[in-house]
Chain A
Amino acid sequence: MNKKIISFQNKIFFSLLILFCSDFYFCQEYLKEQFSLAQNLYNREKYFDAVTELKRLQFFDREGIYDFESNKLIAECYKAGGKYSEAIRFFSYAEIYAENFDDLFDIKIEIVRANILRRTASNAIKLLNEMEKEDRWSDKINEINYWRGWAYIFEDKWDIAAFEFAKISPYHELKTLCEETHQKKYSLTFAQVASAILPGTGQFYTGNYLSGLLSLAWCGLWGYTAIDAFVEDRIFDGLAVTNLLFFRFYRGNLQNAARFVREENIRIANESLHYLQHNYKGPRP
Chain B
Amino acid sequence: MALTMERLGVWIGVALTFAIYSFLYKDNPVYKIAEQIFVGISAGYWFIYTIFNILKPNLYTPLTSDFGNNTLLVLPAILGIFMLCRLVPKINWVSRYAISVVVGTTAGLALIRTLQSDVITQMSETIMNPFSGPNTAVILGKWILIIGTTTGIIYFFFSKKHTGAFGATAKVGVVFLMISFGAAFGYTVMARISLLIGRLQYLLGEWLGIIQP
Query: A and B: partners?
Result: no
Q: Could you list which residues of chain B lie within 8 angstroms of chain A, going by C-beta atoms?
A: none
